[in-house]
Every structure is written in structure tokens, then in C-alpha cells.
Chain A
Amino acid sequence: MSAAAEPRPDEAAPIGGRIWSPFIGVLALLVGVAGAVIAVRFLRGLGAVTNLSDGYPWGLWIAYDDVIGSALGASGFTVAFVVYILNRGQYHPMVRPALLTALFGYLLAGASVVIDLGRYWDFWHVFLPRYAQWNSVLLGVSLCMTAYTLVLFLELMPVVLEKLGWKRTRQKIDRLLFVVVAIGVVLPTIHQASLGSMLLVFGPQIDPLYQTQLLPVLFLSSTMGMGLAAVVIESSVTSLALRRPVERELLTKLMKVGQVVAAAFVVARFIDLAVRGQLGGLVVARPLVLLFWIETALFAAPVVLLWGPASHRPARVFVAAMAMAVAGILYRLDAYLVAYDTGAGWHYFPSLGELVVTIGLIAFEILAFIIAIRVLPVLPKLGGARAAAGPA
């Protein structure tokens, strides 16, 4: 109830400025090179540009662009959850940039699915009940992710309507936004958990350190941590790059939530290993075990860094967020690619072409974000904002 008396968050405004810059030029070049590789893939097949094989039929494009890209895009749903569901209105300035990051993350995940699908021209089969195979975890993930991308568009509609000045439409949409927001939390919760469940059917092909029925829980919790970390990183970098004040208080508080999530992940993971009698596997010297411990250290980093009186220092918060994001990325790469072993004789490391496409997609994401904040009211309007957000 006390939160209801909080002042409404201040308005957002386009930051303006010139769009073209050398940095934008570099990004555009990366996007262009990726486009050329994608063209070769469509003309000559996946084998022409990837290192995929029947032993590793899924590679970087699935593991990074989809599984990791969408998890970083979870910034949208975690912030929406904190602001609208937990009613922490003071985080409101974070909502729009977070939703925008999420939208780009999901759109590019969708784009890379199309690039990765062997028979992409038939991708619409996933939407037809005639073809639906409801036991497939992948079907659920596909439908949820598509639906959520549409929801993100709806959640961002006020931004566009504000720009266009359509006040009445805006008011109507605002009234129904609570439903959109609720759906916008349920869908990512389901499909981020399901991205973990996808590995269950691989059975013993996934190393016992990673193959567990707790996969959905581990994926969901690490997703939330990654989403919060992505908001903090994106907000810090934007502030530094645009020489705007850093939202110190808010970022610290958000990462405190991330701290709890990270701690929960590590505890859940070790309890799971203990219950399954796999703790002994953690002292065997092999690459996957080393990676496991690096992941654990990275997940533990935000827990440690945000402990104690010095935890409010922006540098600490930023490092904690970076550790959290890298932890989630590494956990996903390990679970999907390193812990996966379908038998002797198969090897995988992404090809130059795969790397170029992934880098190009990330570049496109940054490029689109920069253009969007320059022309659309995404970031909070400067002046007076800090005072309103001040008292905790």
C-alpha cells in the first residue's frame, strides 16, 4: 500500500543526436559481413558455413543466439515483474530500455532459428495443430517464444503511440496493459524453464553433472539472474556512453535481487548433485569439471561482491552483474554443447562463419538499440528524475 503513494515515474524522451558515428559504422560493417555468410548458408546449405555434424547437430546458433540471447532478453520480464507485480515503481525508468533489449533479443533469436532451421520455409508448421506434437518440449518453447515476442510488441506500444501522439489509443492500451504484463511474465517463465527441459530427452548423452530433472529450475533461476544483470549492464553502459548520471541506487537494489537468485541457483545445484550422488564427480580432473567450478565461482561472485557495507559502489555492482551474465552464458554453453556427448569421434567448435553470424546479430542488436533510444521515448527524460527515485 505504501508503494501506491509513490510519485508516478517521470516521463521518457528520445535522447536525439546524430545517428551516424564511426561506432555505428563498425556495427553496420559487422552486420553486413554476417549477412554475406547468411546468404551463403541459404544458397549452399548449413554445411557450407557451419561445423555442424550428425554428432553435434546443434551448435553456436542454437546455444548462443537462442538459448543465451533469449535469457539475456529476460531483462524485460524480470523488470516488468519487479515494477508491476511487486509494485516497485521506483524501478520504472528501467522498464522501457529493458523491454526494448528483450524485444531485440527475442527477434534475433527468432531470426537465428530461421537461419538454423534446415527446412526454414516450413517453419510455420509449428503453429498448425495438424502438425503439433504436444510431447515435444521444443514445440512449447517455439510457441511461447513467438507469443512472448508479440507480447513485447504490445508492451512497447505506448512508446510508439507516445511518439505518434495518439493519446486516446494510448489510454485504451494502458488500461489493458496489466493483462499484457501478466502474460508477459507467465510466458517467459514457462519457456525459459523449458529451455532447460529441452535437454532431458537427450538422456545419458548429457553428462550426469548437468543432466537432471532440476534443469527447468536451474535454467529459470539463472535466467532471472541474467535478466537482472543485463539491465544493470545495459543501463550502466548507456549512462557512461551518453554521459548521463548512473542510476546507482536502483542498479544496486536490482542486483541485490540478483544476489538472492544467484545464491539460490548455487544452493539448488549442489543439493541436486548431492541427492543424485554426483558430488564425487566434482573432484575428477577433466575439462567439464573445471568449467563447472568456473561457473560456480562466477555464480558465487555476485553473492560475495554484494555482501557488506561496500556493496553499493557502482564498480562492484557492475562487476557483479558481469559475473552473473557470464555465469549464465557459460552454464548454457556447457549444458548444451560441452556436456553433450553423443559418442566417440564427434567434435565441435564453431566455424568462423558461425562466429561471424553470431557477432553480426549482436552488432545488429546494439545498432538497433542505439537508433531506438535516439528516436523513440525509451530512456527517462533528464532533470528531476533523480530526486524522485531517491528515497528508498
Chain B
Amino acid sequence: MLTRRTMLRGLAGGAGAVAATPLCREAQARGARHLPDGALGLLFDGTLCIGCRACMAACKEANDLPAEHTALTIGNYWDAPLDISGETLNVIKCYREGAGTKKDEVKDGFAFTKVSCMHCVDPSCVSACPVSAMTKDQVTGVVKYNVDACIGCRYCVAACPFNVPRFTFDTPDPHISKCQLCYHRAVDGKYAACAEVCPTGATLFGPVIDLKAEIARRRALTPGAETTYPRGKIGGTDTYRGAAGRYVARTYGEHEIGGTQVMHLSGVPFELLNKPKLPSVAPARISESLQHAIYNNLIAPLGFLGALALLAWRNMRPKRDAAPPPTGGGS
């Protein structure tokens, strides 16, 4: 009773089952992702930062986050977090060397840096997430998190090379935390709270294309010369007068894993600020290209399945035909 029809039916069933495996209908090797047209981001200029941490307090308030307890050797503090966490999305950190008196100098100096989501052009967290809880906004490029989709697998936490998405390990009802560029405030005509409150314009909000132009402008200035900086968001009326910075050559975020929408300028090398040294090709691009090549619209897996099914069918004929099967094995 083992007919060709049975076999074909079996193969069809097999195809259905494998179709439930990760298939990708997109083209195979995928190219680099590009900045969305309406990309929004931040520019953090460490030479302007005075370390007041108003941005950290504003971030907590805007995102309705609880105060965090920090045990330091000099005492116990509330809301002096040393790093981002499940309850803190933005932290200003300080580099210090020797006497620590000269701003933005390596020797005997100090410098500030900001730690928060970089809003990658090709984010690893979005590529990793199995359930679309991490998404990149098509228009603004903001990397958003949806707790209602999240299953708490923490693949995003592990995947991010900037170590940004964080997880609340100490609760039975956990979630991922990360900066979402205050996109929820846009409906009220507001923008990223950290930039809004920054007194010196060290954190500046705006379209990435404008921020890049502003970076070019600052780099062209003579260090020390007085200049006018936009404050809050780019293109606004609020300004700040200050001396032009002396920058290291690199803009952090320009090329890192395919570029990011948050960019950093600094007076000291980024390695000293604990910014990871990263390649310019996005790991997500490598990972997805390889996956697409393997699955290739399921041609290879299905062909493999068909061949195996045929061999298994020939080798597993029912007991009673003790005689060798007729050659060809077709029917």
C-alpha cells in the first residue's frame, strides 16, 4: 500500500513542517542599512559638558523611572547611579587622571562622557529579537521597545555591542530598559528630556543630518575661539556662548557598526572614556546575510528534506516484503 501518492503526500507534509522554520523571503546577502530620511538623534559634545547631571534627573522624570540606590565607599546615595541599568537610561561618566584638574586633557585631566542608547542605523538588538519587541522606527530611526511583545530572553542585552539594553533581574515581572529618545514626548511637541535641560548644549537633539553639519562646523572652528552653540535642539532660538573645543579626530558613532544616530565629540580619546572599539560593518548584516544564504527561500532545506525522505522511504519499507525491493524504487 506504499504508493507514490503516499510518498508525495508525505513530502508535502514535510514541506509544510519545514515552512514553519525560519524562512526569509528577502534577497540573500543583504547590503548595509542607511540612515532613515527623518532620522533623529543626539550630539553629545564632551567639551561642553560640565557634569551637572541635570540630564540624568530629567531622564528619570520624563520616563517615570524610580530613584536608584547606590552604595559608595563614601556613603549611601539615592539617584547617583554609576551606570545605566533596568531603572536608569542615561548616565554621565567621568574620566580622571592624576591631579584631575585640567578639563579635556589626558594628563592630570578630566573629561565627561554620556552613556545611553546609540540608536544604531543597523541595530543588533533589533536583528536579535525573536518577537519584534525591539523595532527601528521607519521614519525617525528611533530604536523602540515594546514590553507587551517581549518574552524576556535578553538576546538584545547580549547582542548590543554598546551594552545598552538592560534588564530588571530582581523582579518576577521583568522588562528591558533603554533610551527611546523620549519619542513619547513628541505628541506634546517636546523632545529628548536630556537635551532639553542641558544648560550648555552639550547634549543636543535634532535631525541627524543637521547634527552632522553642526559637527563639521565645530571641527572647523579655531579651538578656544568664542562661538555660539545651539542649546536644547538644533534650529531653535536658545543658544549658549562658549569657547570652541579641541577635539580628537574621531566622531564616535560616525562609523561604529554601520553608524549610529547618537554621536559623540570628545577632547580625549574615546578609549579612555570606555567607549568600545568597534568595526564599521554591522554584525547584524553579517549574521543576516549568512542566514539568508543558508535558507535561500528554503530551497536547500526542502531539497535536503526531499532527498532524505526518499532514502528513508526506500530503507524503511514494511517488514513483509522480505524480498529485495524492485530496482528503481519508484513505486
**Which residues of A come within 8 Å of B, CB atoms?**
1, 3-5, 8, 42-48, 50, 52-55, 57-58, 84-85, 87, 89, 116-120, 122-123, 125-126, 131-140, 142-144, 147, 151, 171, 174-179, 181-183, 185-187, 189-191, 193-194, 197-198, 200-205, 213, 216, 340, 342-344
Chain B neighbourhood of A45, CB < 8 A = 168-172, 174
CB distance from B124 to the nearest CB of A (A): 5
Cβ-closest chain B residue relative to A176? B10
Alpha-carbon separation in the docked complex, A111 to B6 (Å): 36
A213 close to B290 (CB less than 8 A) = yes
Give which listed residue, A57, A140, A343, contacts B167 with CB less than 8 A: A57
The answer to whether B163 and A343 have CB atoms under 8 Å apart is: yes
- Residues A135 and B288 in contact, CB atoms below 8 Å apart: yes
| Contact for B308 among A8, A53, A85, A175, CB less than 8 A | A85
- Give chain B interface residues in 278-330, CB to chain A under 8 Å: 278-279, 282-284, 286-288, 290-291, 294, 301, 304-305, 308-309, 311-316, 318-319, 324-325
Q: What distance in Å separates the Cβ of B172 from its nearest Cβ neighbour in chain A?
A: 5
**A179-B130 CB under 8 A given contacts A5-B324, A134-B22, A343-B163:** no
Closest beta carbon of chain A to B296's beta carbon, Å: 13
Q: Please judge, given known A-B contacts A47-B170, A197-B291, whether A132 and B131 are in contact too, CB under 8 Å.
A: yes
Q: Are A179 and B11 in contact (CB under 8 A)?
A: yes
Do B22 and A139 touch (CB < 8 A)?
Answer: yes
**Listed A/B pairs (27) with beta-carbon separation below 8 Å:** A4-B315, A4-B325, A43-B172, A85-B315, A116-B153, A118-B167, A119-B151, A119-B152, A119-B173, A131-B131, A136-B127, A136-B129, A137-B291, A140-B291, A175-B2, A178-B312, A179-B309, A179-B313, A201-B283, A202-B283, A203-B282, A203-B283, A204-B277, A205-B161, A342-B158, A343-B274, A344-B274
Residue with the greatest number of chain B CB neighbours at <10 A, chosen from A139, A147, A174, A201:
A201
Select B131's contact among A120, A125, A178, A204, beta carbons within 8 Å. A125
The answer to whether A125 and B149 have CB atoms under 8 Å apart is: yes
Known A186-B308, A204-B283, A216-B290; further 20 A-B contacts with Cβ < 8 A: A57-B167, A84-B312, A84-B316, A117-B151, A117-B153, A118-B152, A131-B130, A131-B133, A134-B25, A135-B127, A136-B127, A136-B130, A138-B130, A175-B2, A178-B316, A179-B313, A182-B309, A200-B290, A202-B159, A344-B274
Bound Cα distance A316, B174 (Å): 49
Q: State how many angstroms separate the Cβ of A198 from the closest Cβ of chain B.
A: 8
Q: In the assembled complex, which residues on chain B have CB atoms less than 8 Å from the CB atom of A147?
A: 17, 20-21
Contact B291 A204 (CB under 8 A): no
A171 CA to B165 CA in the complex, in Å?
53
Contacts of A3 in B (CB 8 A): 315
Instruction: Tell yes or no: B182 within 8 A of A by CB.
Output: no
**Is the beta-carbon distance between A201 and B309 smaller than 8 angstroms?**
no
A216 and B294 within 8 A (CB): yes
Whether A87 contacts B311 in the complex (CB less than 8 A), given A131-B131, A133-B131, A203-B257, comes out as: yes
